[in-house]
Homo-oligomer: A and B are copies of this chain.
Amino acid sequence: SRSNERTPPPPVVHYHMNNLTTSNDPIANRETVLILTPLARFYQEYWDNLLRLSYPHELISLGFILPKTKEGNIATAALQAQVAKTQSGPQKKRFASVTILRQDTESPLQTQTEAERHKMENQKARRAAMAKARNSLLFTTMGPTTSWVLWMDSDIIETPTSLIQDLAAHNKPIVAPNCFQRYYNTETKSQDVRPYDYNNWVDSPTAQDLGAKMGNDDILLEGYAEMPTYRSLMAMMYDKSAAPNMEVQLDGVGGATLLVKAEVHRDGAMFPPFAFYHLIETEGFAKMASRLGWKAWGLPNYLVYHYNE
């Protein structure tokens, strides 16, 4: 007889994917958000900003992937200390769950200064490695109850506290705020802001022509004088006197801060680590999503801020 066996039967879970909503009122609908961060350097300001997010933390899960480098070890220790503190601190601040992954692939570049990582010849290998890290994180942490995925780089140190609600209110498959940087303007002798992320763009005939003449495995890059694409960059569309909820449809997106309906990823949209229509990583993701029928949108006047090295 089996009645005296000790272990209870393992869990069976049954999910109706179409009962999962992604709506413009995610809190009312108790929609879960998975915040995913590839993390090579830990910034306390990033963590503090995360803690200030007003979206109910019990609906937020966090996922991190860190490289297997010396720098990654240092960042892991710093991250773990903050996670431990938060998850044993005030109930309201705790997140539903936290997953920390260490990459199994080596980072191609050990030097990570802004100047070095932005060099054009370093970009393809670097962005392919970043794409694989993002895919690993995504494939491993997304669950059947995830409604939204918020991609957030570890050097995004300031956002509105209502970031998730604000972005979700647009109810778009993919939506990107404008990623800026604070700096000291030596001309005006005052604190100022300037564009940081050039990966949010509307395509151009010039870029299409450049692509058509390239080899199959070649990629187009944005923000390099050597390769002018004449794409319309969201970074350049910022108008501080205009409405923050203004929307523009995008053909390429960055991953610094990006809200994605989980169903977009579930259909198969990932970050191509190879040239996909001459695009790679987050820009290739936008193209792949569009091939799956999902459009990307940007908010030129809604700012988030990147750390200034």
Count of this chain's copies in the oligomeric assembly: 2
In the complex, what residues of B have CB within 8 A of residue A13's CB?
97-100
The answer to whether A90 touches B16, judged by C-beta atoms less than 8 angstroms apart, is no
A87 to B13, CA, bound (A): 12
Q: Which of B102, B132, B291 touches A268 (beta carbons < 8 Å)? A: B132
Tell which of A41-49, A115-123, A133-141, A175-183 binds the partner.
A133-141
A143 to B131, CA, bound (A): 18
The answer to whether A98 touches B11, judged by C-beta atoms less than 8 angstroms apart, is yes
A141 to B15, CA, bound (A): 11
Closest to A141 in B: B144
A13-44 CB contacts (< 8 Å) to partner B: 13-18, 20
A267 to B140, CA, bound (A): 11
The answer to whether A99 touches B140, judged by C-beta atoms less than 8 angstroms apart, is no
Q: Which of B83, B84, B99 touches A144 (beta carbons < 8 Å)? A: B99
The answer to whether B265 touches A100, judged by C-beta atoms less than 8 angstroms apart, is no
Q: Which of B17, B90, B143 touches A102 (beta carbons < 8 Å)? A: B17
The answer to whether A268 touches B267, judged by C-beta atoms less than 8 angstroms apart, is no
The answer to whether A7 touches B91, judged by C-beta atoms less than 8 angstroms apart, is yes
In the complex, what residues of B have CB within 8 A of residue A138's CB?
139
Closest to A87 in B: B9
The answer to whether B104 touches A14, judged by C-beta atoms less than 8 angstroms apart, is no
